[in-house]
Every structure is written in C-alpha cells, then in structure tokens.
Amino acid sequence: MKIKSLRRIRRDVLSWLLAVPALIVFLIFSWEPLLSQIYYSFYNFQGFTPTTFAGLQNYLNVLTNSGFQQTLLNTLKYVFWSLILGWPVPILAALFINEIPWFKSFFKFSIYFPVMIPQIATALMWDLIYNPSQHGFLNELLTKMGLPISQWLQNSHMTIVLITVTMIWSGFGGTTLLYLASLQGVNRELYEAAAIDGAGILRRIWNVTLPSIAPILKLLLILQISGIFQIFVQPLAMTSGGPDNASMSLLLQGYYDAFSYSTPQDSMAIGVIMFIILAIISVVYLRTSKEE
Amino acid sequence: MKKWITGFCVTALTLMLATGCNNSSSSTSNNASKKSGTTSSSKKPAHITLTIGDWPTKTDPTYKQYEQWKKEYEQKYPNVTIKESPLSYWTGGSNGSSFYTAAAAGQLPNLNSAPFTETSRVVGNGYAADITNSLKNEGWLKYINPTAAKSVTQNGKYYGIPVAIQPEGLWINVAVFKKAGLVNKKGLPEVPQTWAEVEKDAKIIHQKTGVAGWVMPSEKNMGGWFFLQMAYTYGEQFEKKTNGKWKATFNDQPAVQALTWLKNLKWKDNAVQSKSLADFNYVLQAMGTNQAGMMFGSPDWTNILIKQYHANRNNYAVALMPESQSYGKRVEEVGGIWDFFSKSSSPDQIKAGINWLTMTGVTPFVKSDAVKGFTQGVLSNVKLKYPVGPSDPSQWTSKAPMLKKEQSIVKKHINVNMGLYQDWENHSLKYMKAEPPIDTQQMYAALDQVVQKVLSDKNADPKALLDNAAKNFQKDYLDKYNAKQ
C-alpha cells in the first residue's frame, strides 16, 4: 500500500508543481486580501493603520448610515437593469452573426471594438454624449427631431439606466463572442431534424439553440450579476455617485470611505457585506446547477 | 529527463515568485535616508537624502526653475542630495487619493504640500512630524501669522509651515463682462459687491452673451466647499459646539438664504451652467474658455487657466466675496497651502527641508539666498505670464523682516493691470473665517448632494434639503464623534 502511495505521489508531483505558481498567485492576490479585509473590518483605524478592536461597530456604522439603504438599492437596480437590457443583447447579437452568411468577420470586429476602449475613456465619452446642454450630442438629435431636450444623467430617475446602457455598449462584444463560440458547437443535425419537423427559425432557436447553450447562458448570467454588483468606474467617472446619490454604488461608496473620508474601516465593512451577498448568490447558483 | 527539466523550471519559477513577494528588504528613500540622516559624531556632516514632493514634471513650465534651485541648493549644501518626487496632493484630482495611499504605505516624501483643508486629516492620521522645536530653533515661530498658525497646529504643536494664505473671492471673466456691457470706461469690470448685484449681472451676462453668468461645481466635495463659502457670507456657522457636543447647524436661515439664491439664479434667472453634475475641471474650463462670467476663485487660480487654456492674465479680475444684505460682511474662508514633513523624517532632514524652503524664498528673515529664491520665483511667474502683483494676506506677521522685502520685489515686477484687483487689495475689509473642524469632507459630500439637487430639480425645497442633510450628517458623523469624546 505504502509503495503504491509513493508511486502515486511520484507520478503526480509534476502536476502539483505545475499548479503551485497559480495557487501562490491566487493565495497572495485573492485569498490574503479577502481574509485581511474580513479581519481588519473589525478594527478601528488611524489613517490606514489599525488601532483598537471595534467588534461589530464598523458594520453598525455602515448599516445605519443614512445613505446605505439607497446605495444598496442602487446597486441592485444596476444589476436589474443590466439583466433586462444587457443580458439579451449579446445573445441576440451572437444569433445574428451566427446566421448571417456574409461579412461575419466585419461584424465580429465591430461588436468587439468597444471592448478594446478603456472603461474610463468610454465613461467620459458617454458623459459627453449625455451632455444636458442644448448642444449636447443627444440633445442636438432630439432638437432636430422636434423633441424637447433631456437632462439625461442629471435626471435622477434615468441615471442608473443610462449608466447601464454605457456598460452594455462597452461590454456586450466580449460576451457575444463567447456565445458565438458556443453556438458553433451546436450539433447541426439537430437543426436539420427540427427543420424536417417543420420548425421555423424562431422555434429552432427556442427548442434547439437556447437549450444547447444553456450552460454558458447560466454561467455568464451569474458572472454578469457578480460583475455589475461591483460597478465602480462608470458612476465614478460620469456622476461621482450623483445626482443626490442616485447613482452611488456600494463599491464607489467604499472607495470614498477609504480615500476621501479616511474611514477605511467602513470601506472594509462594505467590502465584506458585498462579499457575503455575492457568496450567497454564488452558492444558490452552484446548488441549482448541481441539482440540474 | 524532459519531465525533470520541466519540473526544475517550474520549481525555480515558484521560488522566484515567492522571493519577489518578500517586502522585508525594501528600502524606501525615507528609511535609507533616516539611517544616513542621523548626526554623526565626526566633524563632517552626515550625508542626507531629502525627498521633496510636488516636484513639477519635465513638461511643467516651472520644472526648469525647480532644477535651478536644486542645483544651487546642492552646491550650497554638498552633504544633501535632493531626490525629486512628483507625488502631490493634487495628483489625480482634488481628493488626494494617491497622496493618502502613499501616506498610508509610509511612502510620503520628506517634504510635502497640502491645502489647509487637509490639516486635521494629515495630522490626525499621524502623517506629519511635529516640527515645533525645529521652527523654534530657526526663530520662525514668532513670525508666523496667527491666522495661518491655526491651520498648521494641533494642541499647541506645529506640524507644518504655512507657505501661502489663499482666501477665495469673486473671480470675474473680463471678456465676458465686456461682451455683456458690464465694464466701465477704462474697460475694467464693474465689480458686484452684493449677492443681489451678482444675480443681476449673471442674468445680464446670460441674456446678452448666452454663456453662464455663474458657474458652480457640484461634485467631489467641491460643491459643498463652494456652498460653504457662499453661506459664510450670509453668516452661517456650519458646526456649533454647545455643552461640549457638536451640532450640525447648516439648516438654519443663512444657509437657506444662500441656497435659495442659487436656486433662483438657476431656475428663475437661467444664469447657471446647464450641467448640474459639474466637477472642478469643468468650471475651470468654462472660465478659461470664456464660457462663464463669474465663480469663486483666487488670483493664483488664473495660473491654471494660463497653463491649461492659454488664457490671458489680464482677462481675469478678482474681487472680495460679495456680501449679503443680512450679514453685511465680506467673509473669506481661510484657504491656503502648508508644507509638512513626513513623520519618518529625521531632524537633519527637517533642517535640510527648512533650508530648502528658505532657498525658495519661504522664510520670515531676509537672507541673500531667500531673497534670490523669492525673486527667481517671481521672475519665473513673469516669464510664464502668470499675474504678478495681486497680493494675499501673508503667512508672516507684519514684524517679519522678509514681508516688506517680498512686497518690494513683487512691486518691481507687476505685470498685470492692478485695476482688476482694486477691490481684492482691500485686505482690511476681509473677514476671515476658518472651515468647520469636524468631519469636514463628509460635510462637503453631503452638501454636494444638496447643490446637485438644487441645480437639477426646479421644485427642490432648499429648507427641506438642508434639514435632511443636517439631520443625516448629525446622525452619521457628529453624534458618533461626540460619543467618542
């Protein structure tokens, strides 16, 4: 038995060695910061130096802060609108590109082009497009169409939706290519069989295409929820969380707590709260996937 | 064999990664120089490295002047090597995020600059060295302006040196005023003295030129800071201490009046910029490109417009803050810049830093290198076409020998029409007021939201907005502060 185990170890040692660098990187850049954050979220700070143990006080400070509820609700709204507006778009784009017989490469490049632009540049560009003055790009279009101009980002009812549109524009290209790759793997015979049974294009998409790519649909859904929940760049660059905290997100609030208000303990508490929420969502997803 | 070579390479890579992440051998310039900065018992002075922050980049027009100063300094003090650091509080925006990150990591240069608004944060977080004894040894303490001293001291200890007092006033774009017909026969703007006059002029500017009569930032705490200065002129006191407890009081009549003025200017007179979410760069750009008539500002802000937008120094006038009918005072918030030493700086480095400041003209004493340094600074501004002539209250008392010398040097090199600063030069009329002491940045953030709401919603109720902001600020910050005392 002992000899067998030694042989196994000798056989597997190279595999473990190959995995060690990645494990070290993961440990240093993912686990250590997370565990440190959880640990220090229970401490008071002077500047960025932990001082005395605070227990749950930092969490109480964050949860009872007058702006926290709105900030949490804003973050959930970002997720909601990104699912409504943003989740179907790459699927439809991938289906379109998959079906068209000509200029596939051109369309692939076109939809991927926004992904190549840095997020800050995208945010600033859209901030200009949404300029509320008479001469803002969109307002000029509205004026030419005989419509009244809009306040765009300055309208607190529209801010989150408009920022979501910016994110969708910036990110849907990458997701589309992933769906496209998945679509390439769908068995052609299934389409032929469906066609023989008299299924039209919509029925083929519903009954063949979507079930075939269901695993990647679910995976990208959970990744999207997780990614959008951590939205930061766009509200920082476009609205600084305004107007009147209408676009403030949890991560942006954490950033301000750490770097504008010198209360890193509150920032860490927010980070841990976000981690708990995302962990619950991830566990639910993994459980439902396992059951299926 | 191939397997073992692969395994060896992987192991080597892993070990390299592990040692690369080891921080224990890092030596910052501060630590290294701290070791070398200790006074040795030998006759030769120990070699010191002095890292100076806010060093201009190579493309900055003041870079050559700094390099000249560095060369002269190292010639005079051969035991000191100056190390340049571009780290600045103002890097990346006005909230100092890069600066405070470096401070937290113990990576601040020896000598740093920051605005007066940051004193409590810098000192409170332990980033600044106590230099009371150093200043006493230099004989500087008795010459520091008491108003300025309040901004660099805590519990009677000096944590820095005020290098400039820069109160804000009413900043006027002369070209816009001219186009609106608001100049006199000499072509100088007819300076509004009250808020009612500012409103009238702003309305005329918008009607006659189409540009905003008044611009106001509303993001990144600048909206709150601007609003504070406005409300100060109505007699507002934002935080009051009663029976040992701090209370947020910025929802009373003076602040409501100030906010109502702003609301009317926006929605009744249509004289404020269309962008209600405006950061400081936006309003500076508006002033620099003749898209705005007025805002708050100080004479040295014109330098930014000249540098970034090739503006003309004679296109900007600065006057005292307008007064309100109810309060009747030209109130100026005490703004300015102070220099401080990082906590890890040795006494020798502090001494070397004070010598550097002297060489660049920051000293209460008339010394040949200080006079030369100050003159070089003035000539550099002349060369860069920055306005030379308008004065600010000095960081030194009237008894400081250098004060008269500075004034005479500036007078010799005036390069701007001083008629543009006639109102500003009435320093005796200035009623100086310090900013509130507790959680000021958080207060500005809360007031940002109030300003944004007033500028984006014509049905906004100033009283209700301020009541809500004061209530939340009291609950979220002041009550917690009071509980800790």
- Chain B environment of A22 (Cβ under 8 Å): none
Q: Are A280 and A226 in contact (CB under 8 A)?
A: no
**End-to-end alpha carbon distance in chain A:** 38
Average of per-residue pLDDT across B331-346: 91
Q: Is B276 left (phi over 0), alpha (psi -120 to 50) or beta?
A: alpha
- Chain B environment of A64 (Cβ under 8 Å): 475
Interface probe, candidates A10, A28, A66, chain B, greatest B C-beta count within 10 A: A66
Statement: residue B39 has pLDDT above 50: no
Q: Is A114 exposed, middle or buried (0-12, 13-18, 19+ CB in 10 A)?
A: middle
Q: Distance between CA atoms of B160 and B395, rounded to whole angstroms?
A: 12
Q: Cβ–Cβ contacts within 10 Å for residue B52, how many?
A: 25
Residue-wise pLDDT for A197-251, tens only, equals 888 888 888 888 888 888 899 889 999 999 999 999 999 999 999 898 999 999 9
Tell me what pLDDT residue B24 has: 38
Q: Distance between CA atoms of B213 and B271, rounded to whole angstroms?
A: 5
- Chain B environment of A154 (Cβ under 8 Å): 275-277, 455-456
Written as six digits, the tokens of A3 are 């000899």
Tell me what pLDDT residue A1 has: 55
Residue-wise pLDDT for B71-99, tens only, equals 999 999 999 999 999 999 887 655 677 88
- Chain A environment of B218 (Cβ under 8 Å): 242
| H or E segment to which residue B294 belongs | strand B292-297
Average of per-residue pLDDT across B8-19: 56
SS3 of B173, please?
Answer: strand
- B456 with A21: Cβ contact below 8 A: no
Residue-wise pLDDT for A91-114, tens only, equals 999 999 988 888 989 999 999 999
Sign (positive or negative) of CA dihedral B56, B58, B62, B66: positive
Tell me what pLDDT residue B26 has: 34
What's at A230, amino acid-wise? Answer: Q
SS3 of B125, please?
Answer: coil
Nearest to A254 by CA among A238, A239, A275: A275
Angle, helix A159-184 to helix A88-99, in steps of 10 degrees: 40
What's at B235, amino acid-wise? Answer: G
SS3 of B364, please?
Answer: coil
- A48 with B218: Cβ contact below 8 A: no
DSSP string of chain A, one letter each residue: -HHHHHHHHHHHHHHHHHHHHHHHHHIIIIIHHHHHHHHHTTEEEETTEEEEE-TTHHHHHHHTSTTHHHHHHHHHHHHHHIIIIISHHHHHHHHHHHH-SS-HHHHHHHHHHHHHS-HHHHHHHHHHHT--STTSHHHHHHHHTT-----GGGSTTTHHHHHHHHHHHHHHHHHHHHHHHHHHTS-HHHHHHHHHTT--HHHHIIIIIHHHTHHHHHHHHHHHHHHHHT--HHHHHHTTT-STTTT--HHHHHHHHHHTSS-HHHHHHHHHHHHHHHHHHHHHHHHHHHH-
Query: Given the DSSP bridges, would you call strands B161-165 and B336-341 parallel, antiparallel or unpaired?
Result: antiparallel
- Chain A environment of B103 (Cβ under 8 Å): 47-48
Average of per-residue pLDDT across B397-411: 94
* Nearest neighbour of A243 by CB, restricted to B10, B104, B452: B452
* Nearest neighbour of B18 by CB, restricted to A24, A155, A239: A24
Q: Distance between CA atoms of B96 and A261, rounded to whole angstroms?
A: 11
- B480 with A61: Cβ contact below 8 A: yes
- Chain A environment of B476 (Cβ under 8 Å): 61, 65-67
Nearest to B61 by CA among B313, B311, B384: B384
Tell me what pLDDT residue A29 has: 93
pLDDT tier, B36 (very low <50, low <70, confident <90, very high otherwise): very low
Tell me what pLDDT residue B9 has: 57
Q: Distance between CA atoms of B95 and A284, rounded to whole angstroms?
A: 39
Q: Distance between CA atoms of A168 and A158, rounded to whole angstroms?
A: 15
Closest-CA residue in chain A for B2?
A14
> pLDDT over 70 for what percent of chain A?
98
Statement: residue B28 has pLDDT above 80: no
Tell me what pLDDT residue A15 has: 84
Q: Distance between CA atoms of B23 and A187, rounded to whole angstroms?
A: 54
Closest-CA residue in chain B for A20?
B14
Tell me what pLDDT residue B37 has: 37
Query: Given the DSSP bridges, would you call strands B292-297 and B212-214 parallel, antiparallel or unpaired?
Result: parallel
**End-to-end alpha carbon distance in chain B:** 71
Statement: residue B45 has pLDDT above 90: no
- Chain B environment of A242 (Cβ under 8 Å): 218-219, 277, 448-449, 452
- Chain B environment of A265 (Cβ under 8 Å): none
Q: Distance between CA atoms of B290 and B312, rounded to whole angstroms?
A: 11
Radius of gyration of chain A (CA): 24
List b or e across B225-247, with b for residues whose CB sees 16 or more CB atoms inside 10 angstroms: bbbbbbbbbbbbebbeeeeeebe
Angle, helix A250-259 to helix B97-104, in steps of 10 degrees: 60
Tell me what pLDDT residue B444 has: 94
| H or E segment to which residue B328 belongs | none
| H or E segment to which residue B229 belongs | helix B222-232
Nearest to A277 by CA among A285, A288, A266, A265: A285
SS3 of B66, please?
Answer: helix
SS3 of B35, please?
Answer: helix
Average of per-residue pLDDT across B102-130: 91
Nearest to B110 by CA among B337, B351, B336: B351
* More confident of the two residues B199 and B124: B199
- Chain A environment of B292 (Cβ under 8 Å): none
- B453 with A244: Cβ contact below 8 A: yes
Average of per-residue pLDDT across B389-412: 93
Distance of CA A175 to the CA centre of its chain: 11
Nearest to A17 by CA among B453, B118, B12: B12
Distance of CA B469 to the CA centre of its chain: 25
Helices (runs of H) and strands (runs of E) counted in chain B: 19, 15
- A262 with B6: Cβ contact below 8 A: no
Q: Distance between CA atoms of A164 and B248, rounded to whole angstroms?
A: 36
Closest-CA residue in chain A for B448?
A244
Average of per-residue pLDDT across B126-155: 93
Mean pLDDT rounded to a whole number for chain A: 90
Statement: residue A181 has pLDDT above 70: yes
Q: Are B376 and B344 in contact (CB under 8 A)?
A: no
Nearest CA distance, A51 vs chain B (angstrom): 11
Written as six digits, the tokens of B59 are 């493309």
Q: Are A163 and A249 in contact (CB under 8 A)?
A: no
Residues 6+ apart with CB under 8 A from B299: B318, B387, B390, B392, B421, B424
SS3 of B417, please?
Answer: coil
- B95 with A259: Cβ contact below 8 A: yes
Average of per-residue pLDDT across B122-150: 93
Closest-CA residue in chain A for B446?
A244
* Nearest neighbour of B17 by CB, restricted to A21, A64, A256: A21
Average of per-residue pLDDT across B15-23: 49
- A156 with B275: Cβ contact below 8 A: no
C-alpha angle A230-A234-A240 in degrees, rounded to nearest 5: 100
- B6 with A156: Cβ contact below 8 A: no
- A260 with B441: Cβ contact below 8 A: yes
Q: In the A/B pair of chains, how many CB contacts fall below 8 A?
A: 112
Interface probe, candidates B274, B455, B465, chain A, greatest A C-beta count within 10 A: B274
Closest-CA residue in chain A for B457?
A155
Residue-wise pLDDT for A32-78, tens only, equals 999 999 999 999 998 888 999 999 999 999 999 999 999 999 999 99
Written as six digits, the tokens of B23 are 């921080």
- Chain B environment of A47 (Cβ under 8 Å): 100, 103-104, 124-127
DSSP β-bridge partners for residue B144: B396
- B472 with A17: Cβ contact below 8 A: no
Statement: residue A146 has pLDDT above 50: yes
Interface probe, candidates A262, A263, A266, chain B, greatest B C-beta count within 10 A: A262
Written as six digits, the tokens of B150 are 């309040």
Q: Distance between CA atoms of B415 and B390, rounded to whole angstroms?
A: 10
Query: Given the DSSP bridges, would you call strands A49-53 and A43-46 parallel, antiparallel or unpaired?
Result: antiparallel
Interface probe, candidates A29, A61, A247, A259, chain B, greatest B C-beta count within 10 A: A259
DSSP β-bridge partners for residue B169: B297
Nearest to B473 by CA among A241, A272, A44, A261: A261
Statement: residue B1 has pLDDT above 70: no
Mean pLDDT rounded to a whole number for chain B: 89
